[in-house]
């Protein structure tokens, strides 16, 4: 069964693919035109949307895919302010979009980009700080320390809640791995060399 992070990432990629395919179809039907003329329509639709969370996320992705740098960060802030209940999912979608746009060889989003997205999202909805941090760490575990630092910087009064959420999330994700890990089972069967029992031989 896929983890919540994998599900969110799959949904973001799927929605992005659907959006791109629709844009290709629209471009073929309408012919060439100025790209700037389309973006405001999608932005307004995202801002005024009273539809379900999935539709809101789809509208957000549509806008975010057209944005870069500060515009992407601004898009994240606006979306989180409008739907703080979707803050964690919005952040994960934005991180995936940033990864697609960066085309990184390592598949990682830069720490600077992550920092900006986290700060913008939490500044827009400080009460959602814990959910944002948890979702971001699950999406980009290599940036855990940077995410926590950015979150506390953006909402210092939420620090205790952030740290509790991070600790709870960490214990849930780490404990099963620790319990399941057994060095004797992980290695090849047979004698195991150790400092206490050096290998026998001539």
Q: Is the dihedral of CA 111, 112, 114, 118 positive or negative?
A: positive
0.75 exceeded by the pTM? no
Domain boundaries, the chain: 4-170
Q: What is the pLDDT along the chain (202 residues), one digit of tens a residue?
A: 444 444 445 455 444 444 444 443 444 444 444 333 333 333 334 344 445 889 999 999 999 998 888 899 999 999 999 999 999 999 999 999 999 988 877 889 999 999 999 999 999 999 999 999 999 999 999 999 999 999 999 999 999 999 999 998 776 554 333 333 344 444 444 444 544 555 555 5
């Amino acid at each position: 069964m896929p983890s919540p992070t994998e599900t969110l990432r799959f949904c973001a990629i799927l929605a992005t693919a659907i959006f791109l395919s629709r844009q290709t179809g629209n471009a073929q039907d309408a012919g060439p035109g100025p790209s700037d003329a389309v973006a405001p329509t999608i932005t307004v639709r995202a801002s005024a949307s009273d539809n379900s969370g999935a539709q809101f996320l789809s509208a957000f992705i549509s806008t975010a895919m057209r944005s870069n740098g500060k515009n992407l960060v601004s898009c994240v802030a606006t979306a989180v302010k409008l739907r703080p209940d979707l803050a964690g999912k919005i952040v994960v979608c934005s991180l995936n979009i940033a990864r697609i746009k960066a085309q990184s060889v390592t598949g990682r989003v830069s720490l600077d980009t992550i920092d900006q997205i986290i700060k913008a999202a939490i500044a827009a909805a400080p009460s959602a700080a814990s959910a944002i941090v948890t979702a971001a760490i699950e999406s980009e575990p290599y940036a855990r320390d940077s995410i926590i630092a950015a979150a506390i910087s953006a909402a210092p009064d939420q620090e205790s809640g952030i740290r509790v959420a991070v600790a709870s999330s960490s214990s849930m994700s780490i404990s099963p791995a620790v319990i399941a890990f057994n060095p004797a089972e992980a290695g090849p069967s047979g004698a195991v060399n150790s400092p206490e029992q050096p290998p026998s031989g001539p």
